[in-house]
Structure 1
Amino acid sequence: MRIAARLGVRKVRVTGGEPLTRRDVVPFLAELSRIPGIEDVGLSTNGTLLTKSAAALRAAGVRTVNVSLDSLDREEYGLVTGRDFLPRVIDGIDAAVAAGFEQIKLNCVLMRGRVERQFEPLVEFAAARGLLLRFIELMPVSTTEVLSEEQFLPVREARRLLEARYGALLPEPQFRTNGPASYFQIPGRAQRIGFIGAMTNLHFCESCNKLRLTCDGKLRPCLGSYLEFDIMKPLRAGAGDAELEQFFLDVVERKPQQHDFRDNYVPGRKMVAIGG
């Protein structure tokens, strides 16, 4: 990360799996936040362990938190996640609000037949806490089954359903959060919601500025690509800073113009192994 920061990386987000299961995650995040040039350290979590760790994370320098929340219906949440943890997640979100993070995002994955009834409850839940709610299209990262008509729900359809309840959403192209989401304001409210349409937005990749470093040391220039480069090889060989800088630059140079999700993509790794 020190090398990446020297080359211009300003934001680091630690993901999983579930990063809060790692015992030393708080001191690790504190170290990241102290690297010269790193301006924003964030965390993505399922929220189940946030209650006991939110204050420590904020004190360690974590500025932003993303929490997965696909439903506020306890039974539906259990069906989606396989765990009856919704009360713990809500408590964790409230603990994060109390801890004073600069921004908290709620990520809802669009799954046909499962989340449509949750749109209004999620919007109101986010509004009551001042949180940024985002709806994310399913992507064939781990399996292509998610693209079936029975499961896939495009963001344009989700937007229509939301507009049927709240009125025409107002585009806010000037509002960015260092990612490819498109944001809209709910009319009559100081509330934004976002849409991430990796599958249906043909211009999705134009605003992507991310690299992913996997848990086993592979640097990936694109989530929806087979390309990955083993940074452990030069590290084990004793590479100096100049060599590592060139490694990063070479990977950035290989960043594709478009992801491969629409081109009969066959998943090679589980999302838990890539980081998401």
Structure 2
Amino acid sequence: MTESNALIDPFQRKIEYLRVSVTDRCNYRCGYCMPEQGVHPEGKHTEYLSFEELTRIIAAFTRLGVKKIRLTGGEPLVRKGLADFAHDLKQLPGLVDLALSTNAHFLDKHAAELAPSIDRVNISMDSLDANKFHHITRGGDLAKVMTGIDAALAHDIRPVKINMVVMKGTNDDEIETMVDFGIQKGVEVRFIETMPIGPAGVSMMDQHYAAEAILKRVKDHVGTDLIPSQSRSHDGPARNFKIAGTDAKIGVISAVSDHFCASCNRVRLTARGFLALCLGQEDGMDLRSPLRDGATDEELEALIVKAITMKPERHFFRENVHNIEFRQMVSLGG
């Protein structure tokens, strides 16, 4: 039943973007993402989909019209063999864009082998202050992240986008500093609102900082206009702006204050084979069980098409921040 662009949800949104969590393990413990002890500490290795299993599912998605894949986690670079996996995915017909989200701690070691396959990279970095960064990440090393950014640029994995989750009273005093860093380094900076996903995320909502307030501070700081930048397929949910008179760009992701559900074109596959249809709703489908029970490629495609018919219209982050405490951001890949 292979059919290009077969994934149209009940609200006429074309699903062309799949985020794939290759692991829910991470060497950092950012407070809005995961509990300090990690998640599923008792989990067995066999609970994770193998790279071969992931490739089969991803190939089914690309046959159905998905054009962009983002590899994420957890921290994807803690899983051995990621570069070979990325190389195999890059050969899939119909795949236009293969991206990576990482904390960059290990990126300097892997940038060279990833460069032929990865089209762009998003790097999580919530502070430019080493001590504050260590506190936010519960042990992270800012120097390693900086080295990873340099490695990505040196191996021409571009664009490099820096993702900063803005937290009132924690790092909101660094908005202007991060803008300056982006201009100086030649990287794009995206400011992200905290989201009430899982107990970790819900506990951080008192630090929520609205995107419009962020944009005002950026504009006041640069002293010039922020020019809306034309959306591209790899922009995802961000609203992007060019700083007038420069080549620098910044973006905001306003998942809570001004949701972008009407244009949502993505779903998420967890490392354990669950297809999550929305960050803020329970809707989804287990793909691991049918895959391991011997489903054919055609049967996998049929299951995916069926799942997309269950994609909800929107999340309800503002109405009820407690409706998704059952999930952890680290398992969903953001």
What interval of TM-score do these two structures reach, taking the shorter chain for normalisation? over 0.9
Report what 2:327 is aligned to. Answer: 269
Which residue, 273, 285, 294 being the options, matches 1:229? 285
TM-score relative to the length of structure 1:
0.94
Q: CA deviation digits over 1:34-56, x for unaligned, max 9?
A: 11111111111001001111111
Give the Å deviation of 1:261: 2.0
Q: Tell me the distance in 1 between the aligned counterparts of 2:166 and 2:211.
A: 8
Contact 1:64–1:103 (CA under 8 A) maintained in structure 2: yes
Report what 2:217 is aligned to. Answer: 161
Give the Å deviation of 1:179: 0.9
1:50 maps onto 2:107 in alignment: yes
Three-state SS of the structure 1 residue aligned to 2:121 is: strand
Q: Tell me the distance in 1 between the aligned counterparts of 2:133 and 2:225.
A: 27
For residues 56-95 of structure 1, the aligned pairs below 5 Å read: 56-59=113-116, 61-95=117-151
Three-state SS of the structure 1 residue aligned to 2:327 is: coil
TM-score relative to the length of structure 2:
0.78
**Superposition RMSD on alpha carbons, in Å?**
1.5
Which residue, 254, 268, 290 being the options, matches 1:212? 268
Contact 1:65–1:101 (CA under 8 A) maintained in structure 2: yes
Give the Å deviation of 1:228: 2.0
Change beyond 3 A, Cα 1:173–1:215: same
Report what 1:146 is aligned to. Answer: 204
**TM superposition outliers: structure 1 runs of 4+ over 4 Å:** none
Change beyond 3 A, Cα 1:244–1:130: same
Q: Tell me the distance in 2 between the aligned counterparts of 1:199 and 1:255.
A: 19
Report what 2:35 is aligned to. Answer: none
Deviates more, 1:63-72 or 1:126-135: 126-135
Report what 1:129 is aligned to. Answer: 185
Deviates more, 1:206-215 or 1:241-250: 241-250
Report what 2:94 is aligned to. Answer: 37
Three-state SS of the structure 1 residue aligned to 2:204 is: helix
Change beyond 3 A, Cα 1:173–1:87: closer
Give the Å deviation of 1:233: 2.3
Report what 2:22 is aligned to. Answer: none
Give the Å deviation of 1:178: 4.2
Letter in 2 for 1:213: L
1:14 maps onto 2:71 in alignment: yes
Change beyond 3 A, Cα 1:173–1:131: closer
Give the Å deviation of 1:188: 1.8
1:243 maps onto 2:299 in alignment: yes
Give the Å deviation of 1:168: 4.9
The answer to which structure, 1 or 2, has the higher relative contact order (CA under 8 A, 6+ apart) is 2
Report what 1:2 is aligned to. Answer: 59
Letter in 2 for 1:273: S
Letter in 2 for 1:201: D
Which residue, 180, 187, 191 being the options, matches 2:244? 187
Three-state SS of the structure 1 residue aligned to 2:209 is: coil
Give the Å deviation of 1:252: 1.6
Which residue, 99, 108, 120 being the options, matches 2:155? 99
Three-state SS of the structure 2 residue aligned to 1:62 is: coil
Three-state SS of the structure 2 residue aligned to 1:44 is: strand
Q: Which runs of 5+ in 1 are unaligned?
A: none
Report what 2:26 is aligned to. Answer: none
Contact 1:17–1:273 (CA under 8 A) maintained in structure 2: yes
Deviates more, 1:49-58 or 1:240-249: 240-249
Report what 1:117 is aligned to. Answer: 173
Contact 2:127–2:164 (CA under 8 A) maintained in structure 1: yes
Q: Which runs of 5+ in 2 are unaligned?
A: 1-57
Q: Tell me the distance in 2 between the aligned counterparts of 1:161 and 1:172.
A: 16
Deviates more, 1:233-242 or 1:105-114: 233-242
**How many percent of aligned residue pairs carry the same amino acid?**
39
Contact 2:176–2:217 (CA under 8 A) maintained in structure 1: no
